[in-house]
Amino acid sequence: MTAADAHRPPGGTGTTQAGRASLTRSRPGRLLLLHVASRRVPAALAVLAACGVLLRLGLQWHWINGNGPPAAELPVMIEGAAAAVIAVVTGSPFGEPERATGRWLPYLRLADALGLTLASAAVLAAGAAAAGLPGGTLAIARNVAGLAGLGLLSSAVLGGLLAWIGPIAYAVVAEFAIIEAWTTPWMWPARPPHDWGAALCAGLALAAGLLVAALRGARDPAHE
Amino acid sequence: MTAAMVPAAPASGRPRARRLSRAIPGRLLRLELRRNIVPWLLPLIVALFWFDSFRGSLGGPPLWSVRTFLSLGQGHVVIDFGPLVAGATAWAGSRDFRSRTTDLVTVTPVPRWAGRLAAWAATICWIEAAFGACVGVMYWADARQVAWGGPPLWPVAAAAAAVAAFAALGFALGTLLPSRFTAPLAAFGAFIALVLSSHAGFDPHSTSYAQILPVNGQGLIKFDTGVFYPFQPDVSIARLIFCGGLILTALGALGLPPGSGGRTLRRVAAAVTVAGLAAVATAVGLAGTARLEAHGIVIPALHDAASDRPIPYTPVCTSAAIPVCVHPAYRQYLPAVTEALSPVLAEVSGLPGAPARVTQVPSSYLEPQGAASITGSPPVLRLPIGDLGLPLPATDDAIFEQQVRLAAVHAFVGAGGGLGSPAQQAVQAALLTRAGVPLSAQVGLTIFSQTPAAPVRAAAERLAALSPAARHAWLAAHLAALRAGHIALEQLP
């Protein structure tokens, strides 16, 4: 189907007044659906659901023993994976020409990033429900938000398809921070869930990521 | 260059075609080396390596075993490289999918399997060059501070193979299951697998099969490894076979799909895959036969008896009345050990079984950590200094001093490899108190000093409060019975 076929005005060759009104009403929803499909959001949701299942299995079968700092390692890795998925979704299959398609694009990108961040936090919280996750839902929400923000910033610098590099580099450092009990709020996964400084840093990262993702989007690679 | 620009083949076309076919792999490799993602990732990988392995390597006492314990013993160097390498190679493997050139490159004269192998080879060239440079710089920095022995090389080879295995698995994943999610999932999958396998290594109930995992540090390197005895290469060799098998399996699998090459080539790919799987199974089977011995993990089928022979050395000794001797690798700890032992030796001087000499012995994987002993005639205190918390710098560390004193007193009362009888615990606590380690500081110093029960504590306080002459006289009369475990707590003065 082409764009021309998408909403052919009914009943004739010209566009009637009623047809135009119908087109305006249906356009935002359809546009959102097409945008979501172009970014492989359904597949991303499936991967996020798999992350939730993985977290559940890891917590239930005690893949990491003990309740000390090491117990927080597995959730942080899975939260990082979820953030990487959110980040790679920002890559556009159309490249630069898409930027000239209208004023809705920033809103669509924002909706994508925000929706997937909320979905991943919800999926991981559901996966960890009643499984004794250190820090609980609050830690999941904070960590996913911060890591997703880093991923979105990374996509603006490296391009959507390489945006996973930011979250994984941060997650590797965060593992050391957890083991060595760092106190800097910029390593928020190593801080307790009620730490305001860590929450603020993660929130700042998310806000910056969403802003950049909405206004600028992922960098379009000129070539590999 | 287009096909039209290729010069027409001369009459004797076959030799020229052969020359061309020989030149193609080299050209492909050069092309792939130029257009590779890894050089762009190298700064990040090197930064992670510096942050984790390199800093950790420089922080410990100047022994090769200590310096390499974190980076190679626990496999941190693989954690630094593995996830990014897996992601980068998955990205490289899915290039044709991203560029939508899969069909185009399938009809080129070079079989797709060869093309993919060239891409992987170029990637692994970059990765291993970076790996070698990083480990080389780390060893160079360590070698400037370590005065004894040489660096362990087998663990480096095993770690390099593990990184190459992640590269092969990531590349195969990217080629066979290309999507925008493949690279991040390969990277995080590798990361999760590495961290979980490192935890499997610290589980005391883990089977010996877990030794095959590249970040499993259990039993591979202890402080005295490479000092008294050579590094045991058995586990590293098994890991090399395991990782080699994984590489062959992944690379062979690249040649299996239709379109990867002709029938013969795909048969070769299948054979390579089967050989890889066989190597993996063999390595896992070998790891299953591993057993922990005094100087490390031994795999009988891979074991070389030469690595059981002690490394000759001339001990460094003090010239005091009771000489204290240590291995030359521990030379800088001699003053601290001598100072730590002097109040204990003064306290037990003249008693039966009091040491006439102190000598360092290698720490054993089979004995409880920090277990000293007094044997021989004249009695010699055999102290596994490498098992105690070696300080850095070598002097002015109260905990180290207290641990040395505890090890000596524990051996003196004859408590062996356990906590000892209540009477032995009380005498040990009293002697340590007199040697300058208060009761409150004794708890948890080593596994031989737990929180004492109230009667033990009371008896220790009573014995410590006696005059030196009275305590000396009681010990002289009852030491033999105490060491044999025949003295009850109530019999203490």
Cα distances (Å, whole numbers) of residue B253 to A123, B36, B249, B275: 34, 22, 6, 11
pLDDT of B218? 59
The terminus-to-terminus CA distance of chain B in angstroms comes to 99
**What are the tens digits of pLDDT across the range B106-137?**
777 778 888 899 999 999 999 999 999 999 99
Phi, psi of A116 (to 5 degrees): -70, -35
Distance CA A189, CA A192 (A): 8
Q: Which residue has the higher pLDDT, A26 or B93?
A: B93
Distance CA A194, CA A135 (A): 9
Q: DSSP readout, B219-246?
A: TT--TTBTTTBPPP-HHHHHHHHHHHHH
B67-76, B135-144, B174-183: range with lowest mean pLDDT? B67-76
State the angle between helix axes of B112-143 and B154-176 in degrees (0 to 180), rounded to the nearest 10: 150
A-chain residues near B80 (CB < 8 A): 172
Tokens of A85: 């998925």
State the angle between helix axes of A41-60 and A17-38 in degrees (0 to 180), rounded to the nearest 10: 40
Residues above pLDDT 70, as percent of chain B? 90
State the Cα angle at B348 between B345 and B350, rounded to 5°.
105
Residue A156 pLDDT class (50, 70, 90 cuts): very high
* Side chain identity at residue A21, one-letter code: A
Residue A131 pLDDT greater than 80, yes or no: no
SS3 B388: coil
SS3 A222: coil
pLDDT of B110? 79
pTM of the entire predicted model: 0.84
pLDDT of B207? 52
Is the ipTM here above 0.90? no
Q: Which residue has the higher pLDDT, B255 or B295?
A: B255
Distance (Å) from the C-alpha of residue A161 to the closest C-alpha of chain B? 6
A-chain residues near B181 (CB < 8 A): 40, 43-44, 47, 85, 88
Distance CA A215, CA B276 (A): 49
Mean pLDDT across B392-397: 62
Residue B380 pLDDT class (50, 70, 90 cuts): very high
Interface residues of chain A, partner chain B, Cβ below 8 Å: 40, 43-44, 47, 54, 63-65, 70, 73-74, 77-78, 80-81, 84-85, 87-89, 91, 160-162, 164-165, 167-169, 171-173, 175-176, 224
Kind of pairing between the strands at B296-298 and B291-293: antiparallel
A-chain residues near B199 (CB < 8 A): 63-65, 70
Mean pLDDT across B70-89: 91
Tokens of B211: 């030794």
**What are the tens digits of pLDDT across the range A210-219?**
999 998 888 8
Distance (Å) from the C-alpha of residue A18 to the closest C-alpha of chain B? 41
Nearest to B420 by CA among B408, B430, B411, B431: B411
Distance CA A76, CA B287 (A): 31
| Domain residue extents for chain B | 26-308, 316-491
Distance CA B251, CA B141 (A): 36
Residues B51, A176: C-beta atoms closer than 8 Å: yes
Q: Are B201 and B74 in contact (CB under 8 A)?
A: yes
* Bridge partners for B374 per DSSP: B381
Residues B79, A43: C-beta atoms closer than 8 Å: no
Each residue of A163-173: b (16+ CB within 10 Å) or e?
bbbbbbbbbbb
Distance (Å) from the C-alpha of residue A84 to the closest C-alpha of chain B? 6
The kind and range of the H/E element at B292 are strand B291-293
A-chain residues near B44 (CB < 8 A): 165, 169
